[in-house]
Structure 1
Amino acid sequence: MHINGKKTKILPLVIGIAIVLILLFKIGIEDTFFLILQINPFYFWLSFLLMLSIIILKAVRHAIIGSKIQSEPFTLIKISFVGQLLNLINIGASELSKAYLFKKIFKVPFGMAAVPSVVERFTDIIVITLFALVGLILHFNFPYVVFAVPPLLFIGIYLFIKFPIGPLKKISHDFTEGCELVGLKTSVGCIFFSFIIWLIEVTTVYLILLGLGCTPLIYMEVLGVVAVSFVVSTSIHLNIGGLESCLIFFFALIGISTETALACSLIYRGIVVMQVAILGTYGLHTLFHTDEDKMVVEE
């Protein structure tokens, strides 16, 4: 797929998979998979359902914002599914792919098509920054936390907004027009969606850890670990591999073994990849199949 004339880079995906394999061999494949197989089925399926709700909520959020520009919510939901799939390949690919598909399907300028993705990213920034600050400052008693958090979050936020904002430099007029159509009220309202999404995200990881036998477990510590791990993995431009490494490192600080942390991250990643692959493939197939049908009718 070409987006704005550039191929979606797969190097981060290759590096990420290599990191996961190194972690597996370093920590121990047998021990890790033994832990994975021992997870409590109740917690696993509850986590599975929560993760599915996250994917759907993200799609609904995209549809709510995008419908202010083009009122076809089901098409917008499919676009979101595709974007979430491509985000596994490369951080930033989600925003660009959703904007590209929006532009292609609805025949609007790219700047306007990118507005829903940018609004989503900004609302995510607000919530994940809040979670990281609350989780770290209140539940990590390290003297350097106060000094480490601001620059860390600054780098993370810069990279969060770099990818969707970068291509918009020369099309600011269309982007501004799109923002006016979406409106401040809708944008602010999407913060609520982002809050629920990230709360469920943290809860999913928390439940997986409970299923692996991690008790007692403080929810706010898990919140801090998950939030900072997402910020750091985005800062180093690695989704797969980067997130797993961060979770292992930060979970160690709250007393969770490397084997358990890796097992947790692999279960989480496995659920995400499976669900996003199915829904993303469905989105791709139906979007382009419908597009082909329209072309046949026109001919």
Structure 2
Amino acid sequence: MIKHQGPISKFVLHIPKEIVLDSFQEVDLWMLILSRKSVKKLNIINQNRMYSIPSCVFACLELRKLHLYNCIFNPPLEFQGFPNLEDIYFKRFSMGDNIGQTVFNLPQLKKLKLYGCCDVNNFNINAMLLRLLHSKQLYAVCIRLSKPIEDSLRVERFNLALMSSNLPNIVSFTIDGYFLKVLAAEKFPNRLPHAEKCLRQLEFQRFSSGDLDQVQGALCMLRNSPNLETLHMTHMQMGSDADLELTSNYLESHDSLQNLCMLQSVEMTSIEGSRPELLFIKLLLDHSPRLENMIIRPSATVVAEKRLNIGKDVMLFPRASSKAKMVYLD
């Protein structure tokens, strides 16, 4: 490799278990050489003891594909991300001590697969183009888009059923209204092939009750989360494109929610008192027999009289739970 002239586009390294290594010194040297050869695809299949990826690999900014087996991902403190990386496959992988709460920028990442990995909850990434996420180890996932995607129909095979099957053990999930719009490119089913049985905490951010796609997506997720305990919804200010009549009619004419038998706590933030918002609250109260607390916070832009009317309305709604305590924070 030292004598090789020119770039090395792809490098595959297999370290079999039959080879007893006292150290990975030679492997580290190969990685150093690769970091100077504009490598684009790196695949390390290590069946020996765990290999700690050296810092020089994190200088390979032209990487497009990174597949690692039985390695330790321990980037230097100054590492910010791989600007061109499109495909990550990590198996039997451990996150190092340097990660902490660092968010890595992976602006071109489209595929992320994690299998048998440790400490993946410390693996925080910013990946706006991500299309495939598959992991049985992820327990907390947050997906937020900074702005709407104009043509969500062009997002390949991204739907709620696929996402649910790829994240079977998720416990806490945060999603925003913009991403719900992406998922709406394919019609939301009444039942998902795989219910989110492990999901305990669900949060919707930048949610608009005046958007039918978002309302249908939220109700689909609630229907398919039988063990959900906590729900938090932060509403965004509705624009001129909000169709309040359409979403209100949908919420009134459909038995769109089954009993949320485990739901205990709900928090609704920044509501404006629109009819679909109130109908959504009423729906939750009607179908939550174990509800203990519902906290409602009106938007700061709502005038005092409207705030008072919102409080009066929600306090009069019937409740499936005799223990449900309504807290209205005016």
TM bin, normalised by shorter chain, reads under 0.3
Which protein has the larger Cα radius of gyration, Structure 1 or Structure 2? 2
Higher relative contact order (CA 8 A, sep 6+): 1
TM-score by length of 2: 0.18
Judging by fraction of residues, say which structure has more strand. Answer: 2
TM-score by length of 1: 0.19
